[in-house]
Amino acid sequence: MKRIILITGGARSGKSTYAERIALELSRNPVYMATARIWDEEFRERVVRHQQRRGKEWTNIEEEKELSRHNPKGKTILIDCVTLWCTNFFFDANADTEKALVEVQKEFDRFTASDDATFIFVTNEIGMGATSDNEIQRKFTDMQGWMNQYIAERADEVWMMVSGIPVKIK
């Protein structure tokens, strides 16, 4: 049976740690699907620290955009994170918000089409602060917010992390 869980919140709110805990409660061998592009050495080190934190029970997959290339059937998959995933679509579409949003929504639908998988999506609430004076940032914030809404509408559960505390939204 398909299950979609969305975990959202601000930076360093405990989203990933909580998502990992849920995944391990649901599966002895969950899949960790990382969507980040490695931009610089500091970010590479951050990725390595995240990988080392997880034990051997995890299957780690690095996938920048095409999540549907991987078969989710019968698995619990943690996707971390929607924000970086959207970033990849956004910049590959030359900051065309509408085009990027349509592409990422189609990929979400392809990936979550399986009726026998649990999907745990981690995302950021980047639109809760001040409105940026940078046009690219405003366009990305819009796209990210719309994608969060798209996933939340389809999710069975939505959690908001506040200072390490999960608050059930849906």
List, edge to edge, every strand of the sheet that includes 165-168: 59-62, 31-34, 76-80, 118-122, 3-9, 157-162, 165-168
CA distance 159 to 165: 10
- List active site positions: 50
CA distance 67 to 82: 11
Q: Do residues 152 and 6 lie in contact, with contact meaning Cβ atoms separated by under 8 Å?
A: yes
CA distance 64 to 120: 16
- How many CB atoms are located within 10 Å of the residue 9 CB? 24
| Residues paired with 34 in a beta bridge | 62, 80
Distances 62 to 78, 80, 82, 85, 86 between C-alpha atoms, Å: 12, 10, 13, 11, 15
